[in-house]
């Protein structure tokens, strides 16, 4: 079950892996920005990622993603973009672009 401890452990491992990796390049900067954005919003919301959608879930959260609500923090970094099937955040975009650049060898 997701929570603040699980979230902090995951983002800590991701950041350590990035920092211990190869030399700093554009892909590492973008990956670091993506990790920082997603870590900030999930850690600020108790280990959960707010999602902007029309679907209203009821009951306790069973995954990392929860319905966006007022009172949550850093909502500009939440999963606000996409369509009704796929939602993504600014951090996800940084991660995707960084991964593509890394795969292209930059």
Residue 22 has pLDDT above 70, yes or no: no
What is the spatial distance between Cα 99 and Cα 27, in angstroms, rounded to a whole number? 7
Q: Look-up: residue for tokens 């600020």?
A: 44
pLDDT in the model for residue 67: 85
Beta strands 65-67 and 49-51 are: parallel
What is the spatial distance between Cα 29 and Cα 19, in angstroms, rounded to a whole number? 10
Q: At what angle do helices 90-103 and 26-44 cross, to 10 degrees?
A: 150
pLDDT tens, residue by residue, 24-82: 788 888 988 999 999 999 999 998 899 887 555 555 556 777 888 889 999 999 988 98
- Is the separation of the CB atoms in 80 and 50 below 8 Å? no
What is the spatial distance between Cα 46 and Cα 78, in angstroms, rounded to a whole number? 13
pLDDT in the model for residue 55: 56
Put simply, whether the predicted model's pTM sits higher than 0.85 gets the answer: no
pLDDT in the model for residue 41: 94
Spell out the domain ranges in the chain: 4-103
């Amino acid at each position: 079950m997701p929570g603040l401890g699980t979230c902090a452990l995951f983002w800590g491992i991701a950041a350590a892996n990035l920092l211990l990796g190869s030399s700093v390049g554009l892909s590492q900067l973008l990956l670091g920005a993506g990790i920082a954005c997603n870590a900030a919003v999930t850690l600020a919301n108790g280990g959960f990622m707010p999602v902007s959608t029309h679907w209203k879930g009821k009951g306790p959260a069973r995954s990392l993603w929860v319905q966006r609500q007022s009172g949550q923090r850093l909502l500009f970094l939440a999963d606000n973009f996409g369509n009704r099937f796929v939602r993504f955040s600014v951090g996800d975009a940084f991660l995707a672009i960084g991964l593509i650049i890394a795969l292209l060898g930059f």
